[in-house]
Chains A and B, each alone.
Chain A
Amino acid sequence: MRSQSCFRIVIPTLIVALMLHMWPLPEWLEYLRPEWVVLVLMYWALAMPEQIGVTVAFIVGLLLDVTQGAILGQHAVGLVLVIFVINTQYQRIRVFSLAQQALVVLLLLLIKSVLVLWVSGMVGQAPDIDLYFLPALSGAILWPWLFIVLRDLRRRFTVARSF
């Protein structure tokens, strides 16, 4: 498996995830919007940990910062740490059932949200936290479906044989 060929499918899915991230939604749904980019990157880090590592996470995180108008590095640091956990624990997470995986995803998304919130707080723009952790929840609920869709895509493009 060459590393160039795997990006043939990873990059398009990430672009679609970025689009979903910015897609205009009605206001009440906006607070529920799952973090598509993080979820998709988590899947690929799980599926091919040698190619999708912390460096890719850093770059994608910077892109996320630009699209969100956040401080550069704010989402990057959260994404790097999330992908680091997956990168060191992927063998364990892979054998979990989808429901168990969703719990792990929930935990990781919460960690990332807290990190992003900390940075926002440090620069003096901390938002209300009433609804702040909803995207983590919706992301975890979405994970099993996203997992199946991305797995089928990966099999069709045969980018990673194992798992």
Chain B
Amino acid sequence: MQPLFLQGPSVTLRTILLVIASVIVMVADHRWHALETVRGALESYVVYPIRYTINLPSRLVVWGDESLSSHQQLLDDNRKLQQQQLRAQVSLQKLSVLEKENDRLRKMLSAQPKVGELVLVAEILAIDLDPYKQQVILNKGSNKDVYIGQPIIDAWGVMGQVVHMGGFSSTVLLISDPSHAIPVQVSRSGLRSTAFGTGNSQLLELRYIPHNADLEIGDVITTSGLGGRFPPNYPVGRITSIERAAGESFATVVAEPVAHLDRSREVLLVWHKLQVKEVDTDTQTTAVVKGKSQ
């Protein structure tokens, strides 16, 4: 038998309590970052299976595409990739010589040698998030020693950093999100600045740059490594416009990210501090250790 009226005061009371609880939860999450474990648990045990299921069709398409492509096509691809590999190998040879030389010179100056970096390939899941946020989901989580704040790059440049993490997946905030800022450096002049996201995946904004700064359209900006979150010298973007309005105290500088923020499918997770020592070395881990550890 269904009661005609619900118990009135109890619903109101519960609502008030839950609203207060929501506010407390919001403050705890946003201000103190105290609920990452709760979020991680929900993400790995409830949300991840759903995400995995949603991602299945697109994986099936990729798989079908691969298994249905013709012998000739695969051969062509293979040949092309081998040529590419050869070319990359040649430039790597030069790079390794340069790196040795650099190490030697640094030693002569008794400067600290460059710290090595580890990378791991991860895949972006085909899942839509809030369209007003520039975020993507990766298929690697704490099971692969991903950590919060970890930099993400693709083949062209810096993409963003990990902000939330579950057992098998992690959420990445892209450099174009309005709440993201990344310390950068103009590689030509060494000018330091901070690149802010704008919400548009094709635009970054460099703020607080004086009018007389040495800056030209087409300059490449790279990570400066200040702040310690991103490894130095990875390309971030290219300057596309500089406006020096007379009334303003700073120039308006706009850059375009070089990473394919809305097109990449495979990205790289970077461990650059090497304080994470035991990164598992299974087959999936492509360990590219540049230079020696400290």
Which residues from chain A sit less than 8 Å from chain B, CB to CB? Answer: 1, 15, 18-19, 22-25, 27, 30-31, 33, 49-50, 53-55, 57-58, 61-63, 66-74, 76-77, 80-81, 84, 87-88, 119-120, 123-125, 127-128, 132, 162
> Which of B36-44, B77-85, B253-261 lies at the binding interface?
B36-44
User: Are A69 and B164 closer than 8 Å at their CB atoms?
Assistant: yes
> Is B127 in contact with A72, judged by CB distance below 8 angstroms?
no
* B:99-140 near A, CB below 8 Å: 126-133, 135
- Name the residue of chain A whose CB is nearest to the CB of B4: A91
In the complex, which residues of chain A have a beta carbon less than 8 angstroms from the beta carbon of B164?
69
**Can you spell out 25 A-B residue pairs with CB atoms less than 8 angstroms apart?**
A15-B50, A22-B51, A23-B128, A24-B54, A24-B126, A33-B131, A50-B3, A54-B18, A55-B18, A61-B22, A66-B42, A66-B46, A69-B130, A69-B135, A69-B163, A71-B30, A73-B22, A73-B26, A76-B18, A77-B22, A123-B30, A125-B133, A127-B199, A128-B132, A162-B2
Q: Are A72 and B128 in contact (CB under 8 A)?
A: no
Tell me whether A22 and B129 are in contact (CB under 8 A).
Answer: yes
- A22-B51, A50-B3 given; A30·B15 CB < 8 A: no
Query: In the complex where A30-B131, A70-B130 touch, is A50 in contact with B6 (Cβ < 8 A)?
Result: yes
A70 to B22, CA, bound (A): 13
- A18 closest partner in B (C-beta): B50
* In the bound complex, CA of A68 to CA of B164 (Å): 11
- Among A23, A24, A73, A124, contact of B23 (Cβ-Cβ < 8 Å): A73
From residue B278, how far is it (CB to closest CB) to chain A in Å? Answer: 28
Q: Is the CB of A63 within 8 A of B46?
A: yes
- Give residues in B with beta carbon < 8 Å to A: 2-3, 6, 8, 11-12, 14-15, 18-19, 21-26, 28-30, 35, 38-39, 42-43, 46-47, 50-51, 53-54, 58, 126-133, 135, 163-164, 171, 178-179, 199
Does the CB pair B135–A72 fall under 8 Å? no
Interchain CB contact under 8 A, B39 and A66: yes
Alpha-carbon distance A62/B43, docked complex (angstroms): 11
Given contact pairs A23-B128, A24-B127, A127-B132, A84 touches B22 in the complex (Cβ within 8 A): no
Which 6 pairs across A and B sit closest by C-beta, in order of nearness? Answer: A127-B132, A73-B25, A77-B22, A73-B26, A72-B29, A73-B22
The listed residue (B3, B11, B53, B129) touching A53 by CB distance below 8 A is B11
Bound Cα distance from A27 to B50, whole angstroms: 21
Is the Cβ of B179 less than 8 Å from the Cβ of A72? Answer: no
Q: How far is the CB of B185 from chain A (nearest CB, A)?
A: 26
Q: How far is the CA of A95 from the CA of B264 in the complex (A)?
A: 51
Q: A58-B18, A69-B133, A73-B25 provided; 19 other pairs, C-beta below 8 A?
A: A19-B54, A22-B127, A24-B54, A27-B131, A53-B11, A54-B18, A57-B18, A62-B25, A63-B46, A68-B129, A69-B164, A69-B171, A80-B19, A84-B15, A88-B11, A120-B132, A125-B133, A127-B132, A162-B2
**Residues in B whose Cβ lies below 8 Å from that of A27:** 131
